[in-house]
Amino acid sequence: MNWVFPILFLSLSFLQNPQIAIGGFDISKQFLEIAKQDEVFDWMVGIRRKIHEYPELGYEEIETSKVIRDELDKLGIGYKYPVAVTGVVGFIGSGQPPFVAVRADMDALAMQEMVEWEHKSKVPGKMHACGHDAHVTMLLGAAKILKDHSHLLKGTVLLVFQPAEEGGGGAIQVVDSGVLENVKAIFGLHVSPALPLGQVSSKSGTLLAGSGFFEAVITGKGGHAAIPQQSIDPILAASNVVVSLQHLVSREADPLDSQVVTVAKFQGGGAFNVIPDSVTIGGTFRAFSKESFMKLKQRIEEVIIGQATVQRCNATVEFSSKDKPFFPAAINDNTLHAYFQKVARDILGPSNVKTMLPLMGSEDFSVYQEVIPGYFYFLGMKSESNKKPASVHSPFFEVNEDILPFGAAMHASLVANYLMEFQDSETQLNGKHHDEL
């Protein structure tokens, strides 16, 4: 590392709050009780609404980052900025090993909010439609709890506020910055409108698919629609390409090896009686294994070029770019899975800790999991009053703010208890540490 993190002063909150238990998992439920206190809850709601009103896209999170830094300053928490362009990484604890991280994504989506309420997005064409405003808020809530109880932290917690999760590869830049170099584990969550409020769901091993994007330009020869024999029709070629791409999964993939190829972009032509010179198509492909992912990539290119050739057209295909990098599958560490279940059951009760099937969605949290043992899970926010909530990436998506205390307490408990367990086991095996972040 090319910088040294100063040792943080311990909080005096133990003297002010002697009822907080030391050691074991006794602190978990008390963290949730603290997060539910009116003062803390109202503070989190205010932050979340401020971020929601002014959504920012990937690597543009200037004001969001400022809100985060202002709150960390008020809490007396040190941080490094900028990380990955607009990201912030805060630090709580002794400044000494072990180091554990928890991550929240910051960016919004390029879509118009359709929910009419007092704190609707004030930026036309931009909206927090994936809950990242809640993610940031819950991590700040955890920061407040941890700062007030930093005497319990037998090591150092890194608070990773990451930009550009929505396809921009923000996690890649965070890893490349080196800020997580000595981190032993990292945790992350995502709000779920489908799960009941206060319920968590995850699994060990592969949780989310690896994903990539493709874009192809199919070029023919334009002309009048009434005399097609004098043209080479790229729309016809592109249509055959789309149909053929669907056969990659239905006829080439093992039915037990889940894969997806979706063409979601088809652009060409601007008049009813003119055959265009070219058509652009694009989409996403996903798989749970690297082998299947790379095979799909190879076959997508072969099919596009081959089918274009059959229709006398030319085709060029592009895949990964700086703006749309590949993301690996999200694979939860098996040891952390057992640990997560232990903490979650203590906070939420055994009936609220569920095991889920893998999803074809993707998350750039997987980038961290390639270099650090990591664990990702979903936290429910479905309320009794909203039986059919809108899904993420919908213009009608809404966050149930009652979720905020649960996320803050889960974050705080996972890292605080991890440091206790890790420090104890490491000290027994190796003696005291002397490394610094």
* Burial class (CB within 10 angstroms; exposed 0-12, middle 13-18, buried 19+) of 87: buried
Phi, psi of 252 (to 5 degrees): -120, -20
Helix locations, 58-203, DSSP H: 62-75, 132-148, 170-177
The annotation status of 165 as a binding-site residue, yes or no, is no
Compute the distance between CA of residue 61 and CA of residue 54 in angstroms, rounded to an integer.
Answer: 10
Compute the distance between CA of residue 169 and CA of residue 322 in angstroms, rounded to an integer.
Answer: 8
**Residues facing 375 on adjacent strands:** 187
**Residues facing 127 on adjacent strands:** 109
Token pair, residue 344, equals: 């979650």
CA dihedral 404, 406, 407, 412 (to 10 degrees): 120
CB of 336 within 8 A of CB of 375? yes
The annotation status of 130 as a binding-site residue, yes or no, is yes
Give 47-62 as a DSSP string: HHHHHHHS---TT--H
Cis peptide preceding 6, ω within 30 of 0? no
* 406-429: burial string, b at 16+ Cβ within 10 Å, e else: bbbbbbbbbbbbbbbebbeebeee
User: In 149-209, where do the E strands start and end?
Assistant: 156-162, 183-196, 200-202, 205-208
Compute the distance between CA of residue 241 and CA of residue 263 in angstroms, rounded to an integer.
Answer: 10
- Please provide the distance, in angstroms rounded to a whole number, between the alpha carbons at the two ends of the chain: 7
N residues, the chain: 437
Q: Are strands 183-196 and 156-162 parallel, antiparallel or unpaired?
A: unpaired
Rg from Cα positions in the chain: 24
User: In 249-373, where do the E strands start and end?
Assistant: 259-267, 274-275, 278-287, 314-318, 330-332, 353-355
CB of 108 within 8 A of CB of 132? yes
Compute the distance between CA of residue 106 and CA of residue 97 in angstroms, rounded to an integer.
Answer: 27
The annotation status of 128 as a binding-site residue, yes or no, is no
CB of 327 within 8 A of CB of 362? yes
* 103 residue type, one letter: R
Compute the distance between CA of residue 119 and CA of residue 155 in angstroms, rounded to an integer.
Answer: 39
Numbered residues of the known binding site: 130, 132, 166, 190, 393
Binding residues for Mn(2+): 130, 132, 166, 190, 393
